[in-house]
Amino acid sequence: MKMPVLDKNFYPMIKALSDFEKTVKASGSSVKVTLVAERSGGYNYVYTYDALEDGVNDALNFRVAERLAKTILWVVGGFKISVAGSKSVYEYLKKAYTPSGLRAFDVEFMSGVYERPFEVTWLKENEIPETKGASMRVGGYLKGCRIGFDAGGSDRKVSAVIDGEVVYSEEVVWNPKITEDPTYHYNEILTAMRTAASKMPTVDAIGVSSAGVYVDNKIMVASLFLKVDKSVHGDYVKNMYINVAKQLGEEMGKEIPLEVANDGDVTALAGAIDLNDNGVLGIAMGTSEAVGYINTQGGINGWLSELAFAPVDFNEGAMVDEWSGDVGVGCKYFSQDAVIKLAEAGGHVFATELTPAQKLKEVQAMMDAGDPLAAQIYEDIGVYLAHTIPFYAKFYDIKHMLLLGRVMGGKGGDIILATCKKVLGEEYPEFAALDIGLPDEKSRRVGQSIAAASLPATKE
pLDDT, tens only, 188-247: 999 999 999 999 999 999 999 988 889 889 999 888 998 999 899 999 999 999 999 999
Query: Measured between alpha carbons, how far is 380 from 332 in angstroms, rounded to an integer?
Result: 13
Q: What is the pLDDT of residue 154?
A: 78
Q: Is 146 helix (H, G, I), strand (E, B) or coil?
A: strand
CA atoms within 13 A on the CB side of 169: 18
Q: What is the pLDDT of residue 449?
A: 76
Q: What is the pLDDT of residue 23?
A: 98
Q: What is the pLDDT of residue 441?
A: 62
- Give which of 182, 161, 179 is closest to 170, Cα–Cα: 161
Query: Measured between alpha carbons, how far is 417 from 379 in angstroms, rounded to an integer?
Result: 9
Q: What is the pLDDT of residue 458?
A: 85
Q: How far is CA 73 from the centre of its chain?
A: 12
Average model confidence (pLDDT) across the chain: 94
- Give which of 44, 43, 94, 99 is closest to 65, Cα–Cα: 94
> Does the pLDDT value for residue 186 go beyond 90?
yes
Q: What is the pLDDT of residue 271?
A: 87
> Does the pLDDT value for residue 395 go beyond 90?
yes
Average pLDDT of span 122-137: 93
Among residues of the chain, what percentage have pLDDT more than 90? 81
> Phi then psi for 182, rounded to 5 degrees?
-70, -15
- Give which of 104, 22, 97 is closest to 62, Cα–Cα: 97
Q: What is the pLDDT of residue 443?
A: 61
pLDDT tens readout for residues 324-375: 999 999 999 999 999 999 999 999 999 999 999 899 999 999 999 999 999 9
Q: What is the pLDDT of residue 317?
A: 96
| Whether the model pTM is above 0.85 | yes
Residues across the chain: 460
- Other Cβ atoms within 10 Å of 416 Cβ, number: 27
Query: Measured between alpha carbons, how far is 75 from 15 in angstroms, rounded to an integer?
Result: 19
Average pLDDT of span 311-319: 97
- Give which of 277, 328, 322 is closest to 307, Cα–Cα: 328
Q: What is the pLDDT of residue 284?
A: 87
> Does the pLDDT value for residue 144 go beyond 60?
yes
Buried-exposed string 391-412: b where 16+ CB fall within 10 A, e elsewhere: bbbebbebbbbbbbbbbbbeeb
| Residues 451 and 148 sit within 8 Å (Cβ to Cβ) | yes
- pLDDT tier at 445, thresholds 50, 70, 90: low
**Domain extent listing, the chain:** 13-127, 136-263+448-453, 266-443
Q: What is the pLDDT of residue 211?
A: 82
Q: What is the pLDDT of residue 446?
A: 60
pLDDT tens readout for residues 399-444: 999 998 889 989 999 999 999 999 999 999 999 989 999 887 656 5
Q: What is the pLDDT of residue 341?
A: 97
| Residues 314 and 68 sit within 8 Å (Cβ to Cβ) | no
Report the top-level CATH class of 266-443: alpha beta
Distance in Å from the first CA to the final CA of the chain: 56
Kindly state the DSSP code that residue 52 receives in the 8-state scheme. Answer: P
- Give which of 397, 218, 389, 204 is closest to 299, Cα–Cα: 397
Buried-exposed string 250-282: b where 16+ CB fall within 10 A, e elsewhere: eeeeeebbbbbbbbbbbbbbbbbbbbeebbbbb
Counting beta carbons within 10 angstroms of the beta carbon of residue 87, is it exposed (0 to 12), middle (13 to 18) or buried (19 or more)?
Answer: exposed
* Type of residue at 46: V
Pairing of strands 165-173, 155-162: antiparallel
Counting beta carbons within 10 angstroms of the beta carbon of residue 13, is it exposed (0 to 12), middle (13 to 18) or buried (19 or more)?
Answer: buried
| Residues 376 and 7 sit within 8 Å (Cβ to Cβ) | no
- Give which of 439, 145, 427 is closest to 267, Cα–Cα: 439
Q: Do domains 136-263+448-453 and 266-443 have the same CATH topology?
A: yes
Strands (E), 372-459: 400-404, 435-437
Query: Measured between alpha carbons, how far is 134 from 114 in angstroms, rounded to an integer?
Result: 17
Kind and range of the H or E run holding 162: strand 155-162
Q: What is the pLDDT of residue 418?
A: 97
Buried-exposed string 292-328: b where 16+ CB fall within 10 A, e elsewhere: bbbbeebbbbbbbbbbbbbbbbbbeebbebeebebbb
Q: Is 104 left (phi over 0), alpha (psi -120 to 50) or beta?
A: alpha
pLDDT tens readout for residues 95-118: 999 999 999 999 999 999 999 999
Q: What is the pLDDT of residue 12?
A: 98
Query: What CATH architecture applies to the domain 136-263+448-453?
Result: 2-Layer Sandwich (3.30)
Task: Give, to the nearest 10 degrees, the angle between helix 182-197 and helix 230-238.
Answer: 20
